[in-house]
Structure 1
Amino acid sequence: MITLPPDYQPSEDEEFMNPQQVSFFREKLIRWRMDLLKEANLTLASLSEGGILEPDISDRASVETDRALELRTRDRARKLIVKINLALQRIENGTYGFCEETGEPIGLKRLQARPIATLSIEAQERHERMEKVHRDD
């Protein structure tokens, strides 16, 4: 495992997915997953603090709505953790950063913005166009 300088940022001037870039994205994904897990644990702790004790029906409804929103957020985080784990698997097998459809590099800017990306921008746009065409049918 490579130790990166604290200010390291992947650059287009480097070889794509060189050991430093791979290490950078691995660390980014692991930190993201840890943050999501920490938030999930806080949610579990707050939800397990007991029932809704608000005597006023509108206050109770507000608390229930907040809890439902929190649970939806946690569900999205759970799905995101699955995608992060898959991205970490791609790092381990050497396919991270390359489009699943074309095999071309996804690009550093896209990976910085969406480290779990599996498609290049072009392939993603094709998918979205196809979805729109089939959805309109």
Structure 2
Amino acid sequence: MKPVSELLKNRGPALFHISPDATVFEALQVLERHGVGALLVMVDQTLTGVVSERDYTRKVALQGKNSKEVKVAEIMTANVITVSPATRTRACMTLMSQKRIRHLPVVDGDQVVGMISIRDLMDDIIEGHEQTIEQLTSYIQQ
């Protein structure tokens, strides 16, 4: 399995984030605009949490709260589990499974360098399997 830094190379430099003082409605707009399921919650360059569609569903919609009034800080996951760029993808899969999370911020020292999702890891696994199948097929046909 490869390091997370390899996955981030394919994603580009964009870091989608929002302030903890923003409303949940504003966070939903950013999620929709970028087609992602979670945002980094940051104050300046400091990671303070992660907010996801799941947070919205469970902590706002199902509780009958108004997304235009609730602040991101009220629903975000504050004790964020992070990984480094050197963390191997298998370790990320294990961590996500054990902690039942779908997104992992990638932090290098004090700097947030990206975020990976369970989908990124699954896409990588599928790509690896396809390459293996191609190699085996080529070997068999020789």
Larger Rg: 1
TM-score tier after normalising by the smaller chain length: under 0.3
Higher helix fraction: Structure 1 or Structure 2?
A: 1
Higher strand fraction: Structure 1 or Structure 2?
A: 2
TM-score, length-normalised on structure 2? Answer: 0.25
Larger RCO (alpha carbons 8 Å, 6+ apart): 2
